[in-house]
Every structure is written in structure tokens, then in C-alpha cells.
Amino acid sequence: MGRRRATLGQSRPTLLVSRGVVLRPWSRGDLVQLTSAYADDDVRRWTPIGRSLDDRTTAAIFLSNAERYWRMDLPNFAIARERDLLGAIGCVAKPAPGELEIAYWLTKEARGSGIATEALTVMSRWALGLTGVHTLRAEIVKGNLASLNCARRAGFVVRGEIQRKYADSDVTAVVWDTVLSGQPTESCTTGEPELAKPSCPGYSLEIG
């Protein structure tokens, strides 16, 4: 008998990753660290939001979007260890019935630690456990090999290349369209005895 699938509803869980890292809902208290994260040229380079705006305005837009996404049943999480913000991961669109699109990034200080791969694996297993969800997609800007490798390590497969015009900016980019389909194998919600572990070996890559 399979594990019962979850419904999102009003629930905003905290998901356990490893080494003290969790995926938790965003709060207004994250604005200062998020502003610092957007001062990083690599975050600006590979994410389309607010490229022409100052760091604080971009961070405020990001937090507003995260709240809006939750109301659209598109869960978004901060990647954090205690009070330190390490990055972001969440669903940003519903490309088709039963599909969710995931996006993610790490702060400069957190890269190279394997956290992105672990966070993406945990987020993917949890998302595939939601009622009606059978496929996850990640659109990765062409050239961002670190994020592509992260997706591959988490089980995503490249389906092709597409040109994308981002609604929240004036950016048009060619992206790798990656896909993960399947069912989760274990739960990873805070308070449950087992932590979700990545299904792929090795976390030595740099995460863009």
C-alpha cells in the first residue's frame, strides 16, 4: 500500500535536509540577508528577477512573489541553517496539469557544499508527494552548468532547449528544459523520524 499523498491547503511545512539545513517558508525578517544575496553578481546573472533594480527592491519583490506563489499553491522555501540564509528553492509555475516548475539558487558562501543538490532532492520528493503532482520541471539558463549538474544529480533529465521570455523582467534567454517524473519514496517533513536523503552520490560541485 503506497504512502498517502498530501494536499497543500494552508499548510506551510518546514522540510529537513541534512547538516542542520532546512527548507522553511520565507518571512519579512529575511529581507536584510536576501538583499545581501542579491548583491552577488552570480545570483543576478542566473536569475531573471529585477536585474535593473537595486538589491533591496529586488529582494522585496522576491518576498512578495514568494507569498503570492503560496496563495497559488506554488510552495516556496528559504534554504537556511539556523539564522543563516543559504539560498532559495520553490515552485514558480504550473506548466501543465500535474506539473510544477522548480527554481533554486544559493548564496556565495553556501556554494560548493552540496546543499543545492540535497535541497533540490528533498524538495522534489516532497513536491511529488502532493496530490495531483506527477512531474517536476526546472528551466536552467543555458550556460549555467553548475545548476544543470545539480538538477541531474537530483534525478532531472534534459528534455531539450527552449527560448523563454520572463514575465517579471525584460530578460529573454535560452534555457535547458529538465524534467523529473515519479513518486516519492519517503517523507521529509519536520517532526517525522526519517530525514530524506539524496538518491545520488557526491556533492562536490559548485552551485551557480
Can you give the pTM of this predicted structure?
A: 0.79
Instruction: Count the Cβ atoms, other than its own, within 10 Å of residue 97.
Output: 9
Better pLDDT: 35 or 2: 35
Residue 201 has pLDDT above 60, yes or no: no
Query: Residues 77-134: pLDDT tens digits?
Result: 999 999 999 999 999 999 999 999 999 999 999 998 999 999 999 999 999 999 899 9
Q: Round to whole Å and give the CA distance between 35 and 58.
A: 7
| Residue 52: φ, ψ to 5° | -100, 5
**How far does the chain reach from its first CA to its final CA, in angstroms?**
39
Residue 31: exposure state from Cβ atoms within 10 A (0-12, 13-18, ≥19): middle
| Residue 116: φ, ψ to 5° | -65, -45
pLDDT at 80: 98
The single-letter code of the amino acid at 128 is: L
List, in order of start, the domains of the chain with CATH numbers: 15-181 (3.40.630.30)
- Pairing type for strands 157-165 and 135-141 reads unpaired
The single-letter code of the amino acid at 131 is: T
- Pairing type for strands 99-106 and 84-93 reads antiparallel
Q: Round to whole Å and give the CA distance between 177 and 185.
A: 24
Alpha carbon 196 to chain centroid, angstroms: 16
Query: Residues 157-196: pLDDT tens digits?
Result: 998 888 876 555 455 566 888 899 874 434 333 333 222 3
Is there a contact between 38 and 59 (Cβ–Cβ < 8 Å)? yes
Q: Round to whole Å and give the CA distance between 162 and 66.
A: 25
Mean pLDDT along residues 24-53: 83
Q: Round to whole Å and give the CA distance between 96 and 126.
A: 19
Q: Round to whole Å and give the CA distance between 59 and 43.
A: 12
What whole-number percentage of the chain has pLDDT above 70? 75
Task: Please provide the average confidence, as pLDDT, over all residues in the chain.
Answer: 80
Name the residue with cell 520528493. 125
